[in-house]
Structure 1
Amino acid sequence: MSRQDELTAFKKLVPASCIETCSPEQLQASIQYTRYRKLRMRLRFPDKYPHEELVIELMSDTLPDIALRRLTKFVDAKAVELAKAGQPQVQPIVELVQASLADNKLLYAFDEIRQLRLLAEQNGGEIKLIERAGRIKLLLRYKNYTFHANMKLDDHYPDSPVAFACDESNFPPSVTDLIVKRANNMIGRIVQVRHHNVAYDPDLQVFQGYTADQALFASNPIKKPLTLIEAIETEIAPPPRKPGTKKAAAAPKIIIKESTRETISPLYYALDGGILHRAPLDVAVKSLIPVVKTFVWEQCLVGLSATTCVACSKSLFPEDPTTKLSPATTPIQAYCEHWYHTECLGQILERPPFVHGCQACQVVLHHPKWSTNVDDMKRKHVRDQQQARELEELADMF
């Protein structure tokens, strides 16, 4: 194939609007598959071409450096192979670059994948990549606990959310389900910016959305217990003093707070003191590292192993994951995001005055397993006490 034939083949492979240079000395063009998987390619012909390999340069404003280096090394090896056989190189090299951009869904996430690989290898874990399918399988280990994350990226990552799942874990099923649910919630909030579900600030001329830190803080799936919040003032106020009685010392008022998580909007942390996120709409936030490293690894695998029950101060998770947990000792996360044993939390929520603050943070204590209707809880408490008295009376009779 002559040099001119190779130039003709180049023009057929690359749209005319993307070709920047097409001469017997040099070829240059832009190749794009998605908004982020795109690059500029420059091919220069050496003096002894085709018996000497093309000089190949790949440049990109979006692809991570590690991805560019890997792709450059890949196409250079192909060019050397073709040069040894004295074969034309332009068409195979261009097709190889185009196929790499189209088939490798993980290309834009290579910098994040490198960090995840280091995290896994340093802690006895494993990582497996299925690039054509856009799938990452990551096994994380900490002490005796494991978490096998399964993540799928589509062609439009990070504009579109990662599908996060768990193939296997030796955490209790309820805890594993909570981790997966919260991880997906967090991913959805990070990606919200790209779906125009944000506010526009005309003064700053930017769109504002959740940072990764904000998304983590706001991703707890337990909803705000409105009825408990409304009952706080009436429940914690001291009872009125009867007329004519001796004035007693004023009972200290217990301050129960609402979670600052509820003050977060896509605009700001509000009272929580976080940093306002200001970014143009075309700047997407990558979510793999915040979700996997910060949340799943640091907060769950590492953090939960050292977490104790707020009420009884005993360890939540046994050192041996095969130890069977009873329903009473199963760990449960409250609305305020602190952890309790199920029985410990139930004992607090089922006793008067039925509106309590977490002992660790004084945020109103709540979990969906227990009612938020204070009147219902009062009636249940009265019934339980009456039944207990009746049982005692029956026992005394015998």
Structure 2
Amino acid sequence: MSFIDQEVTEFRAKCEKQVPHTKIIICSSSLIRVDIYPERPNRSMTVCLRFPENYPQSTPILVELKSRVYSDKLLSELTRLIDDYAADFLGKPQALLVLAFAQQYLTDNPLCVCLDEIKQLRADVKAPGTSTESQLKLKQKNRSVELVAKGGLYTYRVVACVPESYPMQSVELRGQESNLPAVLVRYLNGQSREIARQCVEPPIRLSKEALANFRPVRSLHRSLKFCLEATRDFHIELCPICDNTVLPEDPQDIELDDNADSFIERVYCGHLFHQGCLKKYLSEPPFPKGGKLCPAKRRHPRSDAQTYMGRPQIATSGGAVLPKASEDVVCGIKLAHDRWVVSVKTAEARWAQKQARQRELEEVVDFLQ
């Protein structure tokens, strides 16, 4: 029996016993084909082994990796690592060794399944306009990715845990910490989770055909990129009324009293306002029938009135949906906020009452003079 025939026989007998989570598909002297993690489609990989001439004396075994889950970049890099590993075992049987090496690599590096997303996030962290202090940390043992997003002196930290069934199941976002105002932290926490959820759960109102064609998409990059970009932009956003930055330069100067004029409010269209500016704007005429519209000079990229995952859309006060307009138009979305639900009639009555009091005061002053 030749060396290769003997190795193939030994491989057939020992493979699935010595290398866990593997299944032999083909095992012959011309080709060995084995699936790693065949019971987990979201982690599976196929290893093809061939015996070249002069094997194993001067030439290592030939390795080809295939997968619908892992990126071509990962397959190429892992193939290179296996080739270097096999070269250290010339003159010895290599099939079982390289298969065990590949299986162990996938086990030790569970974040391999989202390698492309991690590369995209690293590029986003280093993109122009992004704080150089923003960081991305990988924790293979915990299958998690930690993002520390910076915007000026403001920080937002979040940990995305990648589940075993990823991408069929969305990442779990936890451990959020920030020195941003509470209203913005709640927004970041809630919206990032919603983005991750939308990646794996179809919309409620979906036709049967569309529902049948729905496929989960990867959620790591989408949810963390949102956190990165939003944190980067908060500290430079201007109040549409006074045209000054909404956030103070120093996080320690954030107003905590929700009745103070400098308290920060975020409205439905996504823009940030000083509470005093928003009160003044909403309490002064004109009072259009459909309610006041946001006076910001452009629509907000992270408006609640548009769908983050799909084509951006703007909902008008009448319920109609308009396509996203150019960056140069006024926001024009109806101002809406839980604390500022006032009808036109009530606003007009309050304004008239305020003007009447003002005239009375002026008459008194004139009389005393």
TM-score w.r.t. the length of structure 2 is 0.70
Q: Whole-Å Cα distance in 2 between the matches of residues 119 and 177 of structure 1?
A: 23
Partner of 1:286 in structure 2? 218
- 8, 11, 25: which one aligns with 2:13: 8
Q: Which amino acid aligns with 1:367?
A: H
Report the CA distance between 1:343 and its aligned residue: 2.2
- Out of 255, 271, 276, the residue aligned to residue 343 of structure 1 is 276
Q: Secondary structure at the match of 1:106?
A: helix
Between stretches 284-293 and 380-389, larger displacement belongs to: 380-389
Distance in 1 between the 2:272 and 2:20 partners?
A: 58
- Name the stretch that deviates more: 67-76 or 377-386: 377-386
- 1:308 to partner: Cα distance: 0.7
Gap change, CA 1:356 and 1:62, over 3 Å in 2: same
Q: 1:48 to 1:155 in 2, by over 3 A?
A: same
SS at match of 2:251: coil
Deviates more, 1:358-367 or 1:320-329: 320-329
2:70 alignment partner in structure 1: 63
Partner of 2:144: 135
Q: Structure 1 residue 313 and structure 2 residue 236: aligned?
A: no
Corresponding residue to 1:39 among 45, 51, 54: 45
Q: Report if aligned partners of 2:239, 2:246 keep a CA contact under 8 Å in 1.
A: yes
Q: Using the alignment, how far apart are the partners of 1:16 and 1:129 within structure 2?
A: 25
Q: Does structure 1 conserve the Cα–Cα contact (< 8 Å) formed by 2:247 and 2:254?
A: no
Quick check: 1:20–1:29 contact (8 Å CA) kept in 2? yes
How far apart in 2 are the matches of 1:391 and 1:132? 71
Q: How far does residue 65 in structure 1 lie from its aligned partner after superposition?
A: 1.8
> What CA distance in whole angstroms lies between the structure 2 residues aligned with 1:36 and 1:337?
36
Q: How far apart, CA to CA, are the structure 1 residues paired with 2:51 and 2:231?
A: 53
Q: Distance in 2 between matches of 1:50 and 1:121?
A: 47
Contact map agreement 2:138 2:144 (CA 8 A) in 1:
yes
- The offset of 1:331, in angstroms, is 2.6
Distance 2:98 2:77 in 1: 15
Match of residue 154, structure 1, among 158, 163, 173: 163
- Structure 2 unaligned spans of 5+: 297-330
- Offset at 1:320? 3.4
- Determine helix, strand or coil for the equivalent of 2:253: coil
Q: Distance in 2 between matches of 1:62 and 1:345?
A: 50
- Determine helix, strand or coil for the equivalent of 2:121: helix
Equivalent pair of 1:187/1:291 in contact (CA under 8 Å): yes
Q: Relative to 1, partners in 2 of residues 1:141 and 1:380: Cα closer, same or farther, differing over 3 Å? A: same
Partner of 1:359: 295
- Displacement of 1:98: 3.1
> Corresponding residue for 1:368?
338
Matched to 2:186, the amino acid is D
Q: Percent identity?
A: 26
Closer, same or farther: CA 150–16 of 1 in aligned 2, 3 Å: closer
Structure 2 counterpart of 1:192, one-letter code? E
Once the 2 structures are TM-superposed, how far is the Cα of residue 125 of structure 1 from its aligned partner? 2.8
Matches within 5 A, 1:49-128: 49=56, 53-81=60-88, 83=89, 88-102=93-107, 104-121=109-126, 123-128=132-137
Change in Cα spacing, 1:342 to 1:18, as seen in structure 2 (3 Å) is same
Shift of 1:309: 0.6
What is residue 245 of structure 1 aligned with on the other side? none
Distance between the aligned counterparts of 2:35 and 2:140, measured in 1?
A: 23
Aligned pair in 2 of structure 1 residues 76, 388: CA closer, same or farther (>3 Å)? farther
Q: Which has the higher contact order (CA 8 A, sep 6+)?
A: 1
Superposition CA RMSD, Å = 4.0
